[in-house]
A and B are shown apart, each in its own frame.
Chain A
């Protein structure tokens, strides 16, 4: 499964540990330096698909009794593959002069 941009950001946010929905939204905004802001709708449709694919799972509720999600082993593997793919793409872009080399 190739995650979408929003799904990949959710997976990245969960790399730091279990989060509830709003925590993921904050992390994604921070990760992307404010470039990507997920609304509750986009976030939970992504969560639904990621859960269905077995990339994340629900964990015990936190102190506020909110539903938390964590990355599964499969989720880590998919996130890693996607990161590698993006890294390869950036390398290729650098080779073709789209990005300055050596940065």
Chain B
């Protein structure tokens, strides 16, 4: 491998926009540096490697703070926030229900669509608020809002896989002892689907209500932008 090729390979440590803008110029500068260097090749490479590692780390951090990654990280944060709040809310309801149990509630059942819709409302609402707070003004676009909410829901469904798996294979009574195992409680759902149809209905209702919230918040924001 020639030194130029090795240097080009090392340039992948920088973000793509930076490489596209300055990669060729950096390679030129490296060639000149190598041609005029009075140092031994080992000393030259030690200098070049230290330079690349330090500057690439700084550049990547800059990119996270100011570039498109900033949006991606914040968007992921809103999804994670939405998921955590939803699971906690579901478990809080389950715990409240079991703690304040009364015979009056005997036989009370929640249909899968109702449960899914409630979860979707919580998830969509949390993501909407999270986006409002975390995403900077320049990326608050109506489409992005709806898209983020729409994409977050399948992610939430995937992350809830453990819950689904456990509910399908039979769980202990819902939130019987929420303090016993915090992780267990976190991963536990309120509704236990009896079959795949229930599950599908539940997640569809969750997606629809979550998207509805996303659309409403997007619209209200678009109107606010228009008003200004």
Indicate the size class of the contact surface on chain A. 10 to 19
Encode B187-219 as 1/0 by CB contact (under 8 A) with A: 000000000000000000000000000000000
Contact A25 B29 (CB under 8 A): yes
Q: Which of A21, A22, A37, A41 has the most B CB atoms < 10 Å from its CB?
A: A41
A-B contact count (CB 8 A): 60
Known: A22-B28, A41-B56. A47 touches B22 (CB 8 A): yes
Bound Cα distance from A22 to B14, whole angstroms:
19
Those of B114-157 within 8 Å (CB) of chain A: none
Select from chain B the residue with minimum beta-carbon distance to A64. Answer: B28
Tell me if A42 is interfacial: C-beta within 8 Å of chain B. Answer: yes
Does B71 reach chain A (CB closer than 8 Å)? no
A43 to B56, CA, bound (A): 11
B55 touches A22 (CB 8 A): no
In the assembled complex, A87 has its CB within 8 A of some CB on chain B: no
B 1-33 contacts with A by CB, 8 A? 14, 18, 21-22, 25-30, 32-33
Q: How far is the CB of B23 from chain A (nearest CB, A)?
A: 9
Give Cα distance in the complex from A45 to B30, angstroms: 14
Q: How many residues of B contact A (CB 8 A)?
A: 23
CB distance from B4 to the nearest CB of A (A): 12
Q: Mark A25-62, 1 if CB is under 8 A from B, else 0.
A: 10000000000011111111101110000000000000
Tell which of B18, B29, B47 has the most Cβ of chain A within 10 Å. B29
**Interface assignment of A66: CB less than 8 Å from any CB of chain B:** yes
The smallest C-beta distance from B193 to any residue of chain A, in angstroms, reads 52
- In the assembled complex, which residues on chain B have CB atoms less than 8 Å from the CB atom of A37? 47
Measured CB to CB, the nearest residue on chain A to B26 is A40
Q: Residues of A at under 8 Å CB distance from B?
A: 20-22, 25, 37-45, 47-49, 66-67
Could you tell me which B residues sit within 8 Å of A by CB distance?
14, 18, 21-22, 25-30, 32-33, 47-48, 50-52, 54-56, 58-59, 62
Q: List 7 A-B contacts (CB under 8 A).
A: A21-B28, A22-B28, A25-B29, A42-B51, A45-B59, A48-B22, A67-B25
- Apart from A25-B33, A40-B29, A41-B59, 5 more pairs, CB < 8 Å: A39-B48, A41-B26, A42-B51, A48-B21, A48-B22
